Structure 1
Amino acid sequence: MTVSTLPPLAARHAWHGAINPIHSTVYFSPDITREFAALGVKDRVAVNLAHRSAAMGAVGAGAVTAAFYNYRHDLVARHLPAVWETVTPAEALAARLRAADTTLSRLLGAETVGSPEVAEAADLAMRATEGCTRHGRALYSAHADLPVPQEPHLRLWHAATLLREHRGDGHLAALLAADLDPLEALLSHTATGKGMAPKWLKATRGWEQSDLDAATGRLRRRGVLDADGALTAEGAALRERLEADTDRLDAAPYEHLGAAGLARLAELGGGLVMKAVTAGAFPADLRG
């Protein structure tokens, strides 16, 4: 077992506070809705499924349900593979990159987008991706085949995307090992206060209230949630084990970057995220 050279939880905090939110700005952006509407795709769920899965090619519902983990399969099947009759994966990827460009430029402002700090953050994030591994990581590996944009803010967004999917693929392995099904994983995360609110689970993942109620019952019987839907001590310990396992599976990029580089990326990326959040990048009621 490799001994970490990083401060405890440094990589986790950088991912949550400075890396993943940069990628995630596109999910709630009107710019991606507009880009896909111009291509003939107007359903928001179809847009989400198409732009995130496009790196894998014109895949069907089965592959996407497996790779995304926490979407209801019949929701995915409602849009895939049908969406590829309207837009090709290459068109979807180009539309997403245009949306990332417009979104970051709007949220951060032209001066920040063109700043040396964004270029430095992009260099650091891309250096971290050199430590990523492909095996067992379908979404990361598909995105790693995409060309790297030249513009610094888009290079940063691309690197954040690679690092997001790398950690995400590892997290799915941890969820399987913990024997949490898709909705149990979502609801136990929501109970930490860091996951999506139930209204967003239904709106974006396709779950019905009856599904949420049934999964809540399973988590209560397992001792993960109490009668009020809050995490028990056992549930909190389970979620921490999940995060620790995910940290371990996702350590390589940040060990490669090193403690000083990670600290600088967290500083730069965190400042950009705060600016984006202040500019309204995410819905106020997103968190549980």
Structure 2
Amino acid sequence: MTTAALEPRAGRRCHNMLNSLHSTSYFAPELGGELAALGITHPRAANFAVRAAALGPVGAGAVTAAFYNYKHELVARHVPAVWAIASPEDVLAARARAVDAALRRLLGEEAVASAEMAEAARLALRASEACSRSARPLYSAHADLPVPEQPHLAYFHAATLLREHRGDGHLAVLMAAGLDGLEAVVTHTATGKGMTPKWVFSTRGWVQEDWDAACERLRGRGLLDGSGELTAEGLALRDGIEADTDRLDRAPYEHLGAEGVARLTELGAGFTRAAMAAGAFPADLVGKA
């Protein structure tokens, strides 16, 4: 393995590719179909069940805390009631079937069975060996799950571990920055890289009144201007949040090494491009409008 130093943002770039592949599952019709077969038909109940299932049959408070940017009242409408419909174990099995079918559809059978997929799985699992459990509930819960045998499912599993590891650390940074869940979303959207308000309202439970109140709080701190754009202070805060998140998430990528990170990023980018070309994400998901 190379001894070359890891570039400051190399881990972030690699994570972005892995996270994009993981995130395709939330928009895959295969997932909705599998969960509907279990009796979970409401899209929000499905989302909470799939991502929280590794935690076990937890209540609304635990899900709101771990997810951070969802309105608690929305979570409480579906959790813990969803566990009376299907057990966490059944939900995890349904997710595995859905991911298998979705990746075969989005990437094609040849890519799923390729040497590159097997290589990506090995590299991502290698990186995940250096993840830490402390104060990372979603990562730690997923780390208790067995590694699938099929390479494309092992790659998805490893991508999920690395995604939740970074995400748990990111929440600690957001708290230290004094941003509540909705304020974090508003500032992310203002960068042009987060979800549009339309998707925030439909998936996170917030309404326009909540959004406007969060914007007013952020303006009071000098982070947003009158048109809803980030001020220089707001941009600096977001840059600092990402840099601190990189620092807390550095261990997996240092463990993999610069050469391995570069190769995993290359492989992940190829899979992500293929998935996006196949229509994995809604066209209006990201942006400010």
The TM-score normalised by the length of structure 1 is 0.98
Q: Does 1:6 align with 2:6?
A: yes
Task: Give 1:223 shift.
Answer: 1.1
Q: Distance in 1 between matches of 2:122 and 2:156?
A: 11
Task: Give the ranges of 4+ consecutive aligned residues of structure 1 lying more than 3 Å apart after TM superposition.
Answer: none
1:85-100 matches, within 5 Å, as 85-100=84-99
Deviations 1:161-185 (A, max 9, x none): 0000000000000000000000000
Q: How does 1:1-288 map to 2 (within 5 A)?
A: 5-16=5-16, 18-288=17-287
Deviations 1:106-160 (A, max 9, x none): 0000011101001000000000000100000000000000010000000000000
Of 52-61 and 226-235, the range deviating more from structure 2: 226-235
- In structure 2, how many angstroms separate the alpha carbons of the residues matched to 1:227 and 1:105? 46
Q: What CA distance in whole angstroms lies between the structure 2 residues aligned with 1:154 and 1:25? A: 13
Question: What is the identity, as a one-letter code, of the residue corresponding to 1:41?
Answer: I
- Using the alignment, how far apart are the partners of 1:74 and 1:198 within structure 2? 18
Relative to the length of structure 2, the TM-score reads 0.97
CA distance in 2, matches of 1:61, 1:95: 21
Instruction: For 1:20 and 1:215, locate their aligned partners in 2 and report how far apart those are by CA, in whole Å.
Output: 27
Gaps of 5+ in 1: none
Counterpart Cα distance in 2 of 1:110 and 1:285: 28
Matches of 2:19 and 2:50, distance apart in 1: 16
* Aligned partner letter, 1:230: E
- Cα distance in 2, alignment partners of residues 114 and 235 from structure 1: 45
Report the Cα offset of residue 54 of structure 1. Answer: 0.4
Q: Could you report, residue by residue, the CA deviation over 1:55-106 in whole angstroms, capped at 9, with x for unpaired residues?
A: 0000000000000000000000000000000000000000111111111110
Query: How far off its partner does 1:8 sit?
Result: 2.2
Q: How many residues align?
A: 284
Output the CA distance in 2 between the equivalents of 1:193 and 1:51. 27
Amino acid at match of 2:15: W
**Counterpart AA for 1:269:** G
Q: Give the Cα separation in 1 of the matches to 2:89 and 2:43.
A: 19
Worse-matched range after superposition: 166-175 or 222-231: 222-231
Percent identity, aligned pairs only, is 64
Query: Could you list the runs of 5+ residues in structure 2 that have no partner in the other structure?
Result: none
**CA apart distance, 1:221:** 1.2
- Give the drift of 1:5: 2.9
One-letter amino acid of the counterpart of residue 6, structure 1:
L
Q: Secondary structure of the residue that 1:203 maps to in structure 2? A: helix
Amino acid in the other structure paired with 1:83: V
SS at match of 1:274: helix
CA drift at 1:13 = 1.1
Equivalent residue letter for 2:264: L
User: How much does 1:14 deviate?
Assistant: 1.3
Q: What is the deviation of 1:266?
A: 0.3
CA RMSD of aligned residues (A): 0.8
One-letter amino acid matched to 2:231: T
Q: Cα deviation per residue 1:193-239 (whole Å; 9 max; x = unaligned)?
A: 11000011011100011000100111111111111111111111000
Q: Distance in 1 between matches of 2:167 and 2:152?
A: 22
Corresponding letter in the other structure for 1:14: C
